[in-house]
Amino acid sequence: MSRKIRVIIVDDSKTGRAFIATALRRDPDIEIIGMAADPLEARDLIIKDQPDVITLDIEMPNMNGLQFLEKIMRMRPIPVVMISSLTARGAETSIEALQLGAFDCFPKPAAFSGIEAYAGLVPLVKAAAGSGAGRNSIINSVSNKSVQRKVISPEVIAIGASTGGVEALGAILPRLPSAFPPIMITQHMPPLFTASLATRLNQMCDIQVQEAEDGVPLENGHAYIAPGGTRHLHLKKIGGRLFTSLDGGEPVSGHRPSVDELFRSVAHCSGASSVGVILTGMGRDGAEGLLEMRKAGAYTLGQSAASCVVYGMPKAAMEVGAVERMVPLSSIAETLISYCKSENGGFV
């Protein structure tokens, strides 16, 4: 790249700052231009040095990370990667941070973990630095086309998301009516975070949003979010009824739960009676699974480039021919409602 990514690290722990700095400095494209022990010290650095990305610990003295994040977003929006503890409280705070505009949250490794535990922070910082670039409409002709299709009342909607997905789900689910067909969601997140996400979304929505459990029959007006980190969320059909299924196995497309796994199970069980939606996120997870859904007759949507925090997963899906229509985030809920209504205006 032509210029290094300039990063400021904000963490009240000297050890934490050292680990983060060491991990980031291993990448030649990243330069640490400052470190601060609290938000008040960080504020002066940000004004003086104008970083490209900030890593910000959520829990700090003088002003907590959420309060500081709000001030950053008002003062000068800069991509912020939050560093969050893997606790129920940390998960709730992380979801709030993502809704306030944080780029993503990185789970803080245990105290005894070595430097390698911070390696996953490097691609997050690099993606955050590029999150404002290249988000012009890349394939606008597709997103502007009206797709002529027979209107059906699908039996299930499958949604996959990663970085930026919390914001995207918060823009879509609250606009869906309570009688909407059941929704299955795989959002890349660590354990505990998905339960907090489900709770927060449930408070915002007319539909019921919950973390998925194994063997639950799907119901209209319900959304089921794959638990983070341990198992894949699948759709199963038994005796003509649809059920959730949580299954073990190795990570797929680098993830567990995997969007590809969810989409493939929906393609197999529901085929043309389903809708697939791929939202903002890094990488390629979901592209091949969405293609299987489209080949099975499902209606498939992708979030448009200009409205993505990271145009990675939808772009990969578009490139393999999995996306039937690209839609701006602001129009996805209305597109789903319009498509899913039956001829009498209902959803069943």
Domain containing residue 238: CATH number: 3.40.50.180
Residue 46 has pLDDT above 50, yes or no: yes
Cis peptide before 257 (omega within 30 of 0): yes
Do 107 and 164 share a structural domain? no
170 shares its domain with 291: yes
Q: What is the pLDDT of residue 176?
A: 97
pLDDT > 70 fraction of the chain, expressed in percent and rounded = 91
Tokens standing for residue 17 = 């700052």
The single residue of 131, 285, 304, 307 carrying the catalytic annotation is 285
* 322 and 224 part of one domain: yes
Range of the domain at 64: 5-131
The verdict on 122 and 188 lying in the same domain is no
Distance CA 251, CA 306 (A): 29
15 C-beta neighbours (distance < 10 Å), count: 9
Would you state the pLDDT for residue 76?
77
Establish whether 255 is a catalytic residue: no
pLDDT at 58: 85
Predicted pLDDT at 133? 39
Do residue 122 and residue 222 come from a single domain?
A: no
Greatest mean pLDDT among 3-17, 70-84, 120-134, 289-303: 289-303
Residue pair 176/169 in contact (Cβ under 8 Å)? The answer is no
Query: Which range among 58-62, 75-79, 341-345 has the greatest average pLDDT?
Result: 75-79
On whether both 309 and 220 belong to a single domain, the answer is yes
Is there a domain that residue 136 lies in?
no
Better pLDDT: 141 or 255: 255
163 with 108, same domain?
Answer: no
Rounded Cα distance, 323 and 335, in Å: 14
- Which of 116, 131, 146 terminates a domain? The answer is 131
**12 assigned to active site:** no
Instruction: Answer whether 211's CB lies under 8 Å from 225's CB.
Output: yes
pLDDT at 143: 38
φ and ψ of 10, to 5 deg: -120, 110
Q: Say if 143 falls within a structural domain.
A: no
Residue 138 Cα distances to 14, 143, 317, angstroms: 43, 10, 13
More confident residue, 12 or 161: 161
**pLDDT confidence of residue 134:** 37
The set of residues, in sequence order, having a beta carbon less than 8 Å from that of 301 and lying 6+ positions away, is 275, 276, 277, 278, 323, 324, 325, 326, 327, 332, 335, 336
Q: What is the pLDDT of residues 213-253, one digit of tens each?
A: 999 999 999 999 999 988 999 999 999 999 999 999 999 98
pLDDT at 3: 87
Report helix, strand or coil for 306: helix
Average pLDDT over the chain, rounded to an integer? 89
**CA atoms of 283 and 227, how far apart (whole Å):** 20
Q: What is the pLDDT of residues 171-208, one digit of tens each?
A: 999 999 999 999 999 999 988 899 999 999 999 999 99
How many other C-beta atoms can be found within 10 angstroms of the C-beta atom of residue 10?
28
How high is the pLDDT of residue 209?
98
State the total domains in the chain: 2
Same domain, 186 and 286: yes
46 and 115 in a common domain = yes
| Position 109 confidence tier, pLDDT thresholds 50, 70, 90 | confident
Q: Is residue 141 part of a domain?
A: no
Nearest in space to 81 (alpha carbons), one of 117, 129, 114, 133 = 129
Whether residues 113 and 166 fall in one domain: no
Active-site choice (84, 94, 188, 234):
188
pTM: 0.90
The Cα–Cα gap between 335 and 252 comes to 29
Residue 63 lies in a domain: yes
Which CATH number does the domain housing residue 27 bear? 3.40.50.2300
Indicate whether 51 and 100 sit together in one domain: yes
β-bridge mates for residue 310, sequence order: none
Q: Judge whether 162 counts as a catalytic residue.
A: yes
Kindly calculate the radius of gyration of the chain based on its CA atoms and give it in whole angstroms: 20
Q: Of 162, 258, 274, 304, which one is the catalytic site residue? A: 162
Q: Are residues 69 and 163 in the same domain?
A: no
H or E element in which residue 245 lies: strand 241-247
Instruction: Identify the three-state secondary structure at position 278.
Output: strand
In Å, what is the CA distance from 45 to each residue of 10, 100, 102, 228, 294? 10, 22, 19, 35, 49
User: Which of 98, 131, 164 is the last residue before a domain boundary?
Assistant: 131
pLDDT per residue as tens digits for the range 142-153? 333 444 555 567
